[in-house]
Structure 1
């Protein structure tokens, strides 16, 4: 339920507030609370293995496609 505007302290007729009736601006706080630890590896071994597997599969398909085209 909204408060009654007629009973709200420091509220002017237009709905604004008088200067000085609001708290001062707070200082900005940004950034992390603690430094983040450095990562030991940028790319995990499982990622490297996945890339190698994909490259090998693509090579096998390319070799098979070339072999099929040469037999035609």
Structure 2
């Protein structure tokens, strides 16, 4: 393992007295810390995904209908004689 631990090594931390105490005026280095969010995140709107899904379905259905009309020859009915 090449990563260093997040907490400082007490043997190499300046300002610590024997027994782990801190001398007056000294502040030991803070260890890395991960915390949660400070406030709840707002719920995203459901409108966008629903509109996108409906648009994709509509385009897909129109494309399939056009391909079926081409294969069946229905488009020739609308052309002039």
Larger RCO, structure (CA 8 Å, separation 6 or more): 2
TM-score, with structure 1 as normaliser = 0.50
TM-score, with structure 2 as normaliser = 0.45
